[in-house]
């Protein structure tokens, strides 16, 4: 495992918003097959880091590489196509579509379905659609939303919407999954269940980069953790190392934040 | 049940011109053409999520291109039509690439400017378009496959076929991958991008599909009216299309057709002169948005719900209708 090249290399990236350096010279590597936690107090730059990796914002400086290939400056849909899927802090789904419709949309987006064959309903297109139907069922089962398949997505409970957001990302069949606070709004039982799901995602061969405020969950689920504070990386290590790290303790105490 | 309704409707539409006089057939043909135009606006509303005040320009470009090719260069209608359609779709793609990055009111304003520029070009390019006087004596399409279109009735059937094919093609399109991508982009551009949908490309495709259908309406408009003039393609033409799409019910294929029927026949019954038409359209739009934001179809659903309750039947879900958006 150690010998594998990193799946994602983030090299000295910075992002300036006006006078704010949201991310300041951060480097990190995500290793193939691991669950890497990215933590830090509010405003530390975690979401911004996700936005830089997934192509939402342009970098002020630095470089991001996926399997050694430079992806800096690519459009989000191209980066998604290369194998990085993400969820959004506060969840983002298509609220007016059904739960099934959400997942179907993502699967169709990634499918190789030619316009004419699909429009005319040719045999091959029907076969592709049938297999998509099967995949929808599989993904909904995986994230535990099977019984809500026909519900309007916007009518789901918040925790379920978060799971649907993860399902949307999984529908891209990503190699790297970026999860931004997936456990927010979940009760302890739901969190434990979702954490188990994150591990199952990893078992299917997907590498995970996880931003989360629920420390118990992060410590329990992550192999390694990177800590950001005020845009800078202040620590990196195993959960045990991070727990004992003096700078980390100070950063969290300093913000008066229970996170 | 639905198949039966469609079959009955088809039978009525086929029988109609044999029962009606020339004027009523003319009116019905006008309705069909407006339905095609309203449908094109409905597509832009549904697929791009924007009203397009430049839609009349697409109609004009296609109508004029086809008529000019025929009158000046002696090209057969059936050859000129695809060329004109290709022209209008290319222009829509170009305009779309430039304007669809703009948000909300800016897109609307730029498309309004596009429409005005198109109209001014037509009005001033005397040599080709005959300026404000317009092109006169536009002949019905040449006979094809043993069918000729030189009577009111035969032209009616041509328009009917075009509308029917449009509806069928769009019904398929909405369910196709492309349709689903367009709906996703309309619902949430940002999320769409992150699930791998090229947003700009899809918006341009949406506008092009709208322009194509608008072009089809334009192709019929020339021979139908026998004259084309820039004064037919003002802002109000686009507004009429919007009103029809909205009055009928946005997000459906049937809505714009209903809207067209409503807006051709209601002024007819009330014998409104064209002088009051813009004011009437404006008033109607306000009333509909206030009273029945889902349009005539929404009202129909409400009525059905009331009836169903009256008969003690459980209320049926009415969500199965196609979402052109
Ligand atoms: N689009 C933006 N424009 C301007 N400033 C921004 C933008 N996005 C983030 N910031 C700023 O960058 C800093 C880092 O924000 P970021 O959202 O990355 O933090 P975070 O670590 O995700 O915090 P949280 O735990 O609250 O989600 C903050 O000061 C924030 O105000
Ligand atoms: Mg954040």
Say if residue A39 is in the same domain as residue A160. Answer: no
Q: To the nearest whole angstrom, how far is the Cα of B162 from the nearest Cα of chain A?
A: 18
Q: Which residues pair with A36 in a beta bridge?
A: A209, A224
The pLDDT of residue A81: 92
Say if residue A120 is in the same domain as residue A181. Answer: no
Q: Assess if residue A90 is contained within a domain.
A: no
With CA atoms as reference, the chain A residue closest to B182 would be A105
Range of the domain at A144: 95-169
Three-state helix/strand/coil letters over B119-159: HHHHHHCHHHHCHHHCECCCCCCCCECCECCCCHHHHHHHH
CA–CA dist B306, B147 (Å, integer): 47
User: Which residues of chain A lie closer than 8 angstroms to B325, CB-CB?
Assistant: none
Q: Does residue A111 belong to the interface with chain B, where contact is any CB pair within 8 Å?
A: yes
The pLDDT of residue B315: 40
Q: Which of A150, A169, A188 is the last residue of a domain?
A: A169
Question: What is the count of structural domains for chain B?
Answer: 1
- Residue A187 predicted with pLDDT over 50: yes
Looking from the CA of B142 toward its CB, the CA atoms found within 13 Å total: 12
Tell me if A88 and B191 make a contact (CB, 8 A cut-off): yes
Question: Alpha helix locations (H) across chain B?
Answer: 2-19, 22-43, 55-73, 77-99, 104-124, 126-129, 152-175, 177-187, 189-194, 199-225, 235-248, 254-270, 277-291, 295-310
CA–CA dist B151, B142 (Å, integer): 12
Token readout for B20 is 């009606």
Q: Assess if residue B270 is contained within a domain.
A: no
User: Which residues of chain A lie closer than 8 angstroms to B191, CB-CB?
Assistant: 88, 92-94, 168
Q: Does residue B199 belong to the interface with chain A, where contact is any CB pair within 8 Å?
A: yes
The pLDDT of residue B87: 95
Per-residue pLDDT tens digits for A157-176:
999 999 999 999 999 999 99
Which range, A3-17, A203-217, B298-312, is most confident? A203-217
Residues 147-176 of A with CB under 8 A from B: 168-169, 171-172
The pLDDT of residue B152: 77
The pLDDT of residue B320: 37
CA–CA dist B297, B287 (Å, integer): 15
CA angle A77, A83, A86 (to 5 degrees): 70
Q: Which of A169, A196, A225 is the last residue of a domain?
A: A169
Burial readout A74-89 (b: 16 or more C-beta within 10 A, e: otherwise): bebbebbbbbbbbbbe
Q: What is the mean pLDDT of residues B303-323?
A: 50
Question: What is the count of structural domains for chain A?
Answer: 2
Percentage of residues of chain B with pLDDT beyond 70:
86
The pLDDT of residue B272: 52
User: Which residues of chain A lie closer than 8 angstroms to B172, CB-CB?
Assistant: 119-121
Q: To the nearest whole angstrom, how far is the Cα of A115 from the nearest Cα of chain B?
A: 7
Q: Does residue B101 belong to the interface with chain A, where contact is any CB pair within 8 Å?
A: no
User: Which residues of chain B lie closer than 8 angstroms to A121, CB-CB?
Assistant: 172
Say if residue A155 is in the same domain as residue A78. Answer: no
- Please list, in sequence order, all residues whose beta carbon lies within 8 angstroms of the beta carbon of residue A189, skipping any fewer than 6 positions away: none
Q: Assess if residue A88 is contained within a domain.
A: no
Say if residue A137 is in the same domain as residue A201. Answer: no
The pLDDT of residue B324: 39
Range of the domain at B100: 23-240
SS3 category, A156: coil
Q: Which of A119, A151, A169 is the last residue of a domain?
A: A169
Tell me if B195 and A115 make a contact (CB, 8 A cut-off): no
Q: What is the mean pLDDT of residues B243-267?
A: 80
Token readout for A26 is 């951060």
User: Which residues of chain A lie closer than 8 angstroms to B322, CB-CB?
Assistant: none
Helix (H) or strand (E) holding A131: helix A123-143
Pocket test for ligand 1, best of A21, A41, A44 (most atoms within 8 A of CB): A44
Mutate which of A51, A98, A108 to test chain B, going by most B C-beta atoms within 10 A? A108
The separation between CA B161 and the C-alpha centre of its own chain, rounded to angstroms, equals: 15
Residues 59-98 of A with CB under 8 A from B: 75-77, 80-81, 85-86, 88, 92-97
Q: Assess if residue A89 is contained within a domain.
A: no
Say if residue A71 is in the same domain as residue A123. Answer: no
For ligand 1, the distance from its centroid to the CA atom of residue A244, given in whole angstroms, is: 27
Q: Which residues pair with A227 in a beta bridge?
A: A39, A235
Question: What is the secondary structure of A179-230 as a DSSP string?
Answer: EESTTTT--HHHHHHHHHHHHHHHHTT-EEEEE-S-HHHHHHH-SEEEEEET
The one-character DSSP state at A153 is: G
**Per-residue pLDDT band at B145 (split at 50, 70, 90):** confident
**Per-residue pLDDT band at B321 (split at 50, 70, 90):** very low
Say if residue A3 is in the same domain as residue A105. Answer: no
The pLDDT of residue A67: 92
Per-residue pLDDT tens digits for B98-134:
888 887 788 888 888 888 898 888 878 877 777 777 7
Say if residue A131 is in the same domain as residue A72. Answer: no
Integer angstrom CA distances of residue A244 from A38, A175, A249, B102, B105: 16, 31, 8, 51, 55
Say if residue A131 is in the same domain as residue A26. Answer: no
- Looking up residue A22, the CATH number of its domain turns out to be 3.40.50.300
Q: Assess if residue B315 is contained within a domain.
A: no
Per-residue pLDDT tens digits for A105-125:
999 998 888 888 888 888 888
Q: Assess if residue B147 is contained within a domain.
A: yes
CA–CA dist A259, A21 (Å, integer): 22
- Between the two ends of chain A, the Cα-to-Cα distance in Å is 32
Percentage of residues of chain B with pLDDT beyond 90:
26
Strands, sheet with A69-70, edge to edge from the N-terminal-most edge strand? A20-30, A8-17, A61-66, A69-70
SS3 category, A259: coil
Tell me if B180 and A172 make a contact (CB, 8 A cut-off): no
B287: left (phi over 0), alpha (psi -120 to 50) or beta: alpha
Q: What is the mean pLDDT of residues A42-56?
A: 93
Q: Assess if residue A70 is contained within a domain.
A: yes
Token readout for B159 is 């328009």
Say if residue A123 is in the same domain as residue A3. Answer: no
Q: Assess if residue A247 is contained within a domain.
A: yes
The pLDDT of residue B57: 92
Mutate which of B194, B202, B319 to test chain A, going by most A C-beta atoms within 10 A? B194
- Please list, in sequence order, all residues whose beta carbon lies within 8 angstroms of the beta carbon of residue A48, skipping any fewer than 6 positions away: A15, A22, A23, A57, A231
ipTM: 0.90
Q: Assess if residue A217 is contained within a domain.
A: yes
Q: Does residue B194 belong to the interface with chain A, where contact is any CB pair within 8 Å?
A: yes
Q: Assess if residue B134 is contained within a domain.
A: yes
Residue nearest to atom 30 of ligand 1 (CA): A43
Token readout for B298 is 């929404």
- Residue A59 predicted with pLDDT over 60: yes
Least confident among A76-80, A179-183, B8-12: B8-12
**Per-residue pLDDT band at A93 (split at 50, 70, 90):** very high
Strands, sheet with A84-86, edge to edge from the N-terminal-most edge strand? A84-86, A176-180, A207-211, A35-39, A224-229, A232-237
CA–CA dist A193, B323 (Å, integer): 36
Which range, A246-255, B40-49, B159-168, is most confident? B159-168
Least confident among A38-47, A55-64, B73-82, B256-265: B256-265
Mean pLDDT estimate for chain B: 81
Q: Assess if residue B310 is contained within a domain.
A: no
Q: Assess if residue B301 is contained within a domain.
A: no
Say if residue A255 is in the same domain as residue A180. Answer: yes
Q: Assess if residue B53 is contained within a domain.
A: yes
CA angle A162, A164, A165 (to 5 degrees): 65
- Residue A252 predicted with pLDDT over 60: yes
Least confident among B41-50, B154-163, B232-241, B283-292: B283-292
Instruction: Name the residue among B21, B32, B10 with its Cα closest to residue B221.
Output: B32
């Amino acid at each position: 495992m150690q010998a594998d090249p990193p799946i994602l290399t983030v090299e000295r990236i910075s992002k300036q918003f006006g006078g704010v350096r949201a991310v300041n010279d951060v480097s990190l590597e995500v290793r193939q097959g691991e669950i890497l936690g990215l933590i830090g107090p509010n405003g530390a730059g975690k979401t911004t880091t996700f936005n830089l990796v997934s192509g939402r914002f342009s970098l002020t400086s630095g470089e991001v590489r996926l399997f050694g290939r430079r992806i800096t400056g690519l459009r989000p849909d191209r980066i998604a196509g290369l194998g990085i899927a993400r969820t959004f802090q506060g969840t983002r789904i298509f609220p007016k579509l059904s739960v099934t419709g959400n997942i179907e949309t993502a699967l169709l987006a990634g499918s190789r379905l030619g316009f004419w064959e699909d429009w005319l309903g040719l045999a091959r297109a029907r076969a592709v659609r049938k297999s998509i139907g099967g995949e929808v069922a599989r993904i909904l089962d995986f994230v535990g939303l099977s019984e809500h398949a026909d519900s309007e997505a916007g009518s789901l409970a918040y925790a379920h919407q978060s799971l649907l957001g993860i399902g949307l990302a999984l529908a891209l069949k990503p190699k790297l999954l970026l999860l931004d606070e997936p456990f927010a709004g979940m009760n302890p039982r739901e969190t434990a269940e979702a954490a188990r799901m994150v591990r199952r995602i990893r078992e299917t061969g997907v590498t995970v980069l996880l931003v989360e405020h629920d420390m118990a969950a992060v410590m329990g689920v992550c192999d390694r953790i990177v800590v950001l504070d005020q845009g800078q990386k202040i620590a990196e290590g195993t959960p045990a190392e991070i727990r004992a790290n003096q700078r980390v303790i100070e950063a969290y105490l300093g913000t008066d934040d229970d996170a | 049940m639905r198949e039966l309704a469609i079959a009955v409707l088809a039978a009525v539409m086929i029988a109609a011109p044999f029962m009606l006089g020339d004027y009523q057939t003319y009116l019905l043909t006008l309705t069909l053409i407006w339905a095609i135009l309203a449908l094109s606006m409905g597509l832009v509303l549904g697929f791009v999520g924007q009203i397009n005040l430049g839609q009349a320009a697409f109609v004009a470009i296609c109508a004029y291109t086809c008529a000019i090719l025929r009158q000046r260069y002696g090209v057969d209608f059936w050859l000129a039509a695809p060329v004109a359609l290709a022209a209008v779709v290319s222009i829509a793609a170009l305009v779309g690439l430039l304007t669809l990055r703009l948000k909300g009111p800016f897109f609307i304003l730029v498309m309004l400017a596009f429409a005005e520029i198109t109209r001014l070009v037509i009005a001033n390019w005397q040599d080709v378009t005959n300026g404000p006087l317009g092109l006169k004596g536009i002949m019905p399409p040449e006979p094809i496959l043993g069918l000729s279109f030189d009577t009111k009735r035969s032209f009616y059937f041509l328009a009917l076929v075009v509308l029917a094919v449009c509806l069928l093609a769009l019904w398929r399109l909405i369910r196709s991958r492309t349709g689903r991508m367009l709906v996703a982009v309309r619902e949430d551009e940002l999320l769409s991008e992150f699930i791998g949908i090229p947003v700009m490309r899809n918006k341009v495709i949406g506008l092009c599909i709208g322009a194509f259908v608008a072009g089809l309406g334009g192709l019929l408009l020339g021979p139908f009216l026998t004259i084309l003039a820039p004064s037919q393609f003002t802002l109000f033409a686009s507004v009429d299309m919007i009103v029809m799409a909205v009055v009928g019910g946005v997000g459906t294929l049937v809505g714009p057709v209903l809207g067209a029927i409503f807006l051709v026949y209601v002024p007819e019954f009330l014998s409104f002169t064209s002088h009051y038409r813009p004011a009437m359209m404006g008033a109607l739009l306000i009333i509909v948005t206030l009273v029945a934001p889902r349009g005539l179809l929404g009202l129909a659903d409400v009525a059905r719900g009331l009836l169903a309750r009256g008969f003690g039947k459980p209320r049926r879900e009415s969500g199965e209708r196609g979402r052109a958006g």
